A and B are shown apart, each in its own frame.
Chain A
Amino acid sequence: MAALPDAEKLCAQLVRALQGVVGPSTAMVGIHTGGAWVAERLHAALALKFPLGLLDPAFYRDDYAKQGLAKDPKRSKIPFDVEGKDLLLVDDVLYTGRTVRAAMNELFDYGRPASIALVVLAERDGRQLPVCAQHAGARVEVPAGMRLRLRRDAEGRLSLELERAA
């Protein structure tokens, strides 16, 4: 199995890719928890005008009826007016697409953005919804029964790792 890509390098790569698309109406929203870590990096490096938004779409998830309320829902904070913005929605790993669906539903309860582009550190197989990333740091092969997740250590360094799926 190939080694997992370096999350730090992927962040730098995404910054370079996004420099070309950032405009005066661009704003960024990170999805809790891993997406928010990536978004913090990208937001700082791109020096965006609007403060970073954070979203936990726990209340919009489609698995609530099966799984109940997510363990530790965080408070969503969008400190700018979503109306008319070109949003960069940031997550760590794109897998089934269900989190992105939930996040988009929540975003529209804040207002009507001009556009939303999806930015992910890594994408993997297993989409269950017609969702694709406009900017993906890397494509990662994930063995069956495993999941790809982002970690942040005490110094704030990001790394991707595989763990057994629950």
Chain B
Amino acid sequence: MPRNPQLNGNGELQHLLSIEGLPREILVKILDAAESFVGVTERDIKKVPLLRGKSVFNLFFEGSTRTRTTFEIAAKRLSADVINLNVAASSTAKGESLLDTVANLSAMQADIFVVRHGSSGAPFLVARHVKPHEHVINAGDGRHAHPTQGLLDLYTIRHYKKEFGGLVVAIVGDVLHSRVARSLIHGLTTLGVPEVRVIGPQTLIPAGASALGVRVFHSMREGLKDADVVVMLRLQNERMSGALLPSAQEFNKHYGLSLEKLALARPDAIVMHPGPMNRGVEIDSSVADGPHSVILPQVTFGISVRMAVMSMVAGGG
């Protein structure tokens, strides 16, 4: 078996490319480190000197405000210098290849590349070509993975539920196109969650879903029953025109999370969403703003989780 490209020779985290294939100990270490960074983010001076003098390049070939911003805040709180590149509008438009862009930035002495790309596997390609002291963090690649989102979801679940054993986690919506769902499923199964469910219409559930170790439901009534955690996925508007769904209203009726449907889950269930939300489509405002929602704490935890990941890769695990 080829060596895991994310780990160095000592089994330490060198790049973060996907949750899939990461051992349990590494996931736990990231979550534990994130917890200590939460302490830092609650102080008046929210900065520690760990990455002083390091340069973090945010390479977003695909748009994102929240993810790019939280990576930027995380890097700044670690005292790194952050350079945001609007690559989609510059080099790529001029015809430069991904690897040439990276090679040029490397010549400007980069330490960490945070890469988001519309093509699955792009961060892997970059990781194979960077110098040994450079690190790559996947900020979302195609339909493949979004590991820091998965990790912040795991952190949020652990924060509210304390342990993973005994939990029922339901992931609802467009699982087929969701890199968030894929990353989270791998994380949940690695950390020993006994029951992971995916709920959605046939057209939006990947054919091999049960091979990932999840139970597939097409009905919210069955799938939400006794869930401890409900993760709603974003429904992208383009799916509607793509003939996978009749309409947003139809989707909302069957798979949108309303207070009434949420009542099927456990009384202390938490509701998560990776954002940005389509209110009235996959989630009703009464739920998004209600007492079960932990959607905004997810965003806050995301900063600490990204601080943990950056300080682990840059410090050699």
- Interface of A toward B, CB cutoff 8 Å: 56, 58-60, 64-65, 67-69, 72-77, 105-106, 109-111
| Stretch of B41-49, B154-162, B185-193, B250-258 on the interface side | B41-49
Choose from A67, A68, A74, A105 the contact partner of B312 (Cβ within 8 Å).
A68
Instruction: Knowing A59-B48, A59-B49, A109-B43 are in contact, say whether A64-B315 is a contact too (CB < 8 A).
Output: yes
Tell me the smallest distance from the CB of A63 to a CB of chain B, in Å. 10
Quick check: which of B29-37, B143-151, B239-247 contacts chain A, the rest being far away?
A: B29-37
* B12 at interface, CB cutoff 8 A: yes
CB-defined contacts of A59 to chain B, threshold 8 Å: 36-37, 40, 48-50, 311
Q: Are A73 and B317 in contact (CB under 8 A)?
A: no
Q: How many A-B residue pairs lie within 8 Å, measured between CB atoms?
A: 51
**Known pairs A69-B312, A110-B43, A110-B44; A75 contacts B33 (CB<8 A):** no
Enumerate chain A residues within 8 angstroms of B316, measured Cβ to Cβ.
68
Chain B: interface residue count, which band? 20 to 34
Nearest residue, chain B, Cβ from A67: B315
**Are A60 and B36 in contact, with the CB atoms below 8 A?**
no
Q: Which residues of A contact B50 (CB under 8 A)?
A: 59, 64, 69
Interface residues of A: mostly helix, strand, loop or mixed?
loop
Closest to A83 in B: B44
Q: What are the residues of chain A within 8 A of B87 when measuring CB–CB?
A: none
Q: Tell me the chain B residues, 1-60 only, with Cβ under 8 Å from chain A.
A: 12, 29, 32-33, 35-40, 43-45, 47-50
B49-A60 in contact (CB<8A): yes
Contacts of B12 in A (CB 8 A): 68
Report yes or no: A75 in contact with B36, Cβ–Cβ below 8 A: yes
Given A64-B315, A110-B44: A105 touches B49 (CB 8 Å cut-off): yes
* B contact residues around A65 at 8 Å (CB): 315
Q: Is the CB of A75 within 8 A of B39?
A: yes
A95: min CB distance to chain B, Å: 22
User: Is the CB–CB distance between B35 and A75 below 8 Å?
Assistant: yes
12 interchain pairs, CB-CB under 8 A: A58-B36, A59-B36, A59-B40, A59-B311, A65-B315, A68-B316, A68-B317, A69-B317, A75-B35, A75-B36, A109-B43, A110-B43
Q: How far is the CA of A109 from the CA of B43 in the complex (A)?
A: 8
Q: Chain B contacts of A76 at CB under 8 A?
A: 36, 39-40
| Chain A residues, Cβ within 8 Å of B312 | 68-69
Q: Nearest 4 A-B pairs (CB), nearest first?
A: A68-B315, A59-B48, A75-B39, A109-B45
- Contact (Cβ within 8 A) B311 A69: yes
